[in-house]
Amino acid sequence: MTASQTAGPTARLMQGDQACAEGAIAAGCRFFAGYPITPATEIAEVLARRLPQVGGKFIQMEDEIASIAAVIGASVGGAKAMTATSGPGFSLMQENIGYAAMAEIPCVIVDVQRLGPSTGRPTSPSQGDVMQARWGTHGDHPIIALSPSSVRETFDLTVQAFNFAERYRTPVILLMDEVIGHMREPIVFPDPETVEQVKRPGTTVPPEWYKPFENFPSDVSPLVPFGEGYRYHITGLHHDERGYPTNRLDEIRPWLERIFRKIDRSISDILLYDKDGIEDAETLVIAYGATARSARYAVDVAREHGRKVGFLKLKTIWPFPDEVVEHAAARLHRVVVPEMNLGQLALEVERIVDRHKVRRVNRADGEMIQPAEILTAIEEWAR
């Protein structure tokens, strides 16, 4: 038995932003490029100190466009790479996020959401970037977005974001919010050896046979880093299996089908959520991020009042868990969807569930949704 086991793990008081940075290190992140922005700056500050300690590299770029570009370049060089920003910077990154989706380059983009639009209220929380995370870049593409609701969950989902990025060769967005980023909670780190680190799949074929965009059986072809003897081409143009630009429909269509299929076929691995008391519920509350904390409280109080309320907390918000919601809401008369925007993920819920059953609880003024507001919505419907 080691000393640490006998003493037991020590809890550390830490912000969500710090936990994100530590989660990145634990996941094997060895490159970060970013630009200062409230409320995400602490992630950069922690990684500026921590990355060189573990042999990694940190750089503060001239803007957010350069930051995501450097992250993609570093990933092509073989490093697990991340950037972190908030709404305004996230907007600037969109074109290159599309590049990462097109060229299937693993990377993690953290967006600690603040109230928008525009400069908005930089130190106030929001969940206003939900649709931007899905559709912010032009063109059709799959995306994975995860949203934590506690400091420890931020650590875990940051690790998960890297693992999804590497496993599925895709950009992954970690959609935090100002409350989660700046809130301090005691956190016990897992033993680093127990943290799953997905290694980017390598190839066994010789360089002359290697096709970096091959229509592979798993739909994810291995990405060999630059500099390891496999010389190939990467482009944001539509491309063939070797990466060369193409206008041929018989090359573009299979590519498009494959990049969606590689996510769809692994949906059970990608969809992360907690459900509680759904089986005998009459009302279902669906929430994510900081709002899930108010929702949790409201659900508990409603239950004390004798209401049968189920709770579905989403950690993966993109792809949207259609079947999970459909299944959970099948017998229910009402679904309450609180979020710190004017109804973004609610649109997805309404796509699955009859919209007359859906009650939105929204705020987009930079203040958290209070449990009482959610409770009122639950109670109104229960009457």
Is residue 261 part of the contact set for other proteins (CB under 8 A)? Answer: no
Give the amino acid at 8: G
By C-beta, is 242 or 333 nearer to other proteins? 242
Is residue 227 part of the contact set for other proteins (CB under 8 A)? Answer: yes
Taking phi first (over 0 means left), then psi (-120 to 50 degrees means alpha), and beta for anything else, what does residue 185 get? beta
- The piece of 164-172, 197-205, 228-236, 374-382 that touches other proteins (CB under 8 A) is 228-236
Listed in sequence order, the residues at least 6 apart from 207 whose beta carbon sits closer than 8 Å to its beta carbon are 229, 230, 231
Listed in sequence order, the residues at least 6 apart from 177 whose beta carbon sits closer than 8 Å to its beta carbon are 112, 113, 114, 125, 126, 127, 147, 289, 290, 340
By C-beta, is 54 or 330 nearer to other proteins? 54
Is residue 66 part of the contact set for other proteins (CB under 8 A)? Answer: yes
Is residue 122 part of the contact set for other proteins (CB under 8 A)? Answer: no
Q: How far is residue 78's CA from residue 350's CA, in Å, rounded to a whole number?
A: 41
- The piece of 17-25, 35-43, 45-53, 279-287 that touches other proteins (CB under 8 A) is 45-53
Is residue 238 part of the contact set for other proteins (CB under 8 A)? Answer: no
By C-beta, is 74 or 145 nearer to other proteins? 74
Residue 46: half-sphere exposure toward Cβ, Cα within 13 Å: 20
SS3 114: strand
- Least distance from C-beta 26 to other proteins, angstroms? 16
Among 20, 40, 43, 76, interactor with other proteins by CB under 8 A? 76
By C-beta, is 67 or 132 nearer to other proteins? 67
- The piece of 71-79, 120-128, 277-285, 289-297 that touches other proteins (CB under 8 A) is 71-79
Q: Show contacts of 261-267: CB within 8 Å, 24+ apart.
A: 261/219, 262/142, 262/168, 262/169, 262/170, 262/218, 262/219, 262/220, 263/142, 263/144, 263/168, 263/170, 263/319, 264/142, 264/319, 265/219, 266/167, 266/168, 267/319
Q: How far is residue 301's CA from residue 290's CA, in Å, rounded to a whole number?
A: 18
Is residue 254 part of the contact set for other proteins (CB under 8 A)? Answer: no
Give the helix/strand (H/E) hosting 31.
strand 29-34
Site for other proteins in 89-108 (CB under 8 A): 95-96, 99
Q: How many residues bind other proteins (CB under 8 A)?
A: 46
By C-beta, is 72 or 369 nearer to other proteins? 72
Is residue 70 part of the contact set for other proteins (CB under 8 A)? Answer: yes
Is residue 233 part of the contact set for other proteins (CB under 8 A)? Answer: yes
- The piece of 37-45, 54-62, 158-166, 278-286 that touches other proteins (CB under 8 A) is 54-62
By C-beta, is 186 or 207 nearer to other proteins? 207
Site for other proteins in 11-30 (CB under 8 A): 30
Among 38, 59, 347, 379, interactor with other proteins by CB under 8 A? 59
By C-beta, is 228 or 367 nearer to other proteins? 228
Give the amino acid at 292: A
DSSP conformation letters of 141-210: ---EEE--SSHHHHHHHHHHHHHHHHHHTSEEEEEEEHHHHH-EEEE-PPPGGGS--PPPP---S-GGG-
- Least distance from C-beta 224 to other proteins, angstroms? 10
**Closest of 235, 262, 257 to residue 246, by C-alpha:** 235
Is residue 69 part of the contact set for other proteins (CB under 8 A)? Answer: yes
Q: CA 331, 332, 338, 344 torsion: positive or negative? A: positive
Site for other proteins in 262-281 (CB under 8 A): none
By C-beta, is 117 or 245 nearer to other proteins? 245
CB 96 within 8 A of CB 141: no
Q: How far is residue 358's CA from residue 336's CA, in Å, rounded to a whole number?
A: 6
- List phi, psi (to 5°) of 271: -75, 115
Among 12, 38, 45, 61, interactor with other proteins by CB under 8 A? 61
* Binding footprint of other proteins on the chain (CB under 8 A): 30-31, 33, 49, 52-53, 55, 57, 59, 61-63, 65-67, 69-79, 81, 95-96, 99, 225-229, 231-237, 240, 242, 244-245
